[in-house]
Structure 1
Amino acid sequence: MSYIMFPKNIQIKDHNVYIDRETVRNEESFALLVPENKSDMIIHYLKSHRGFSNANPSFDHGEDYGISKIIKPPWELHIRLYVDSYFYGYSKMLAHIEIARKYLQHLNFKYVQPVIYEPFRYYKSVFDEFMLAYSSRFMVESIVDNYWFRLINPESLIPWSPVALAKTSINIISDKLKKYFGNSEDQSE
């Protein structure tokens, strides 16, 4: 069983902000910030020293870099880095944990949880300052409290490969045909 943390109460400027559970599910709520001039270096480090690779296949969200890594099967950390951000001189990094893309369940968004601490753990030896933006416009001065979320594995995992997809499709079609023709025979008697 795996748990992850996500901000619940934060300090921005001169006031606290409570983050409700709906906001927690929105990956755009928080972005890690890294110096723009270190963006390439961070991505190169993650790929060459920390086991990340290009996140393929992946939906394009306009990111400059999209990388991923299995962190604890079947969970995968997916990082998107955008060179431009609201904060001049900084790139923004959005990340989430999801079922690995080698499984069909990867397409089920109920298994997607935005994260901020996990990417930092991987790149902090290149840039060790934890910088966080809220709503893309406010610099987070401190995190007062966190939510704890338990990652719940799906009951079954279906590999995403042509053979597995074909087998699953044939099984589904076969079951439907059996039910259809089974019902037809029952009605004709």
Structure 2
Amino acid sequence: MADIGALTPNLIGAHVINVDDNDIALLKKHDVGVAHNMSANIKSAKGVAPVIKMQEQGIRVGLGTDGPMSGNTLSTIDEFNQVAKVHKLVNHDRAAMPPLNVIEMATIGAARALHMEDTIGSLENGKLADIIVIDTKAPNMVPVYNPYSALVYSAYATNVKHTIVDGKLLMEDRNMLTVDETAIRKEALEFADKVRKTVVESGEVVQ
């Protein structure tokens, strides 16, 4: 990839599981961003990216989800718990990947991976106002001893009450304001029937 000029700041390396020290050095040299997609990697049994080592080398690592076919979700919040716990397991270190690091990877870390940290990723003057509001009164969120720990180990995607993107309110009290949920759900179910028929006709087994 480096020899043909494919490693550039415009590249987002998805997964980046099977890398050695030389590969990591090349990622750093060419300032490549990395998307860490834990749930997809767990489901496919492909392995765990050496994220901690990459972060120590200054690689731009952000939290991702891959696609709905790979991890059955596009929810970044659902990645938090798995990322924190699996890295503790593979590194045999219960202090590895603390909650603050996970939240950082999901916010400013993801912005850095996209080389967009000047405009998104944190709440600062001059940046886009991208905000979610979490319901901390939900049963699974009580009590909150540490906000980062609560988000990583307790929060569900369904705890998001309001969503604001670039200062525009898109969801309020879990009600979508800019799309027709019923129409989208109907379209998805109709498409699911097409997928189901295709799979049955092909004889494949859906896992």
For normalisation by structure 2, the TM-score amounts to 0.27
Richer in strand (by share): 1
Greater relative contact order structure (CA < 8 Å, 6+ sep): 1
Q: Which has the larger radius of gyration?
A: 1
For normalisation by structure 1, the TM-score amounts to 0.28
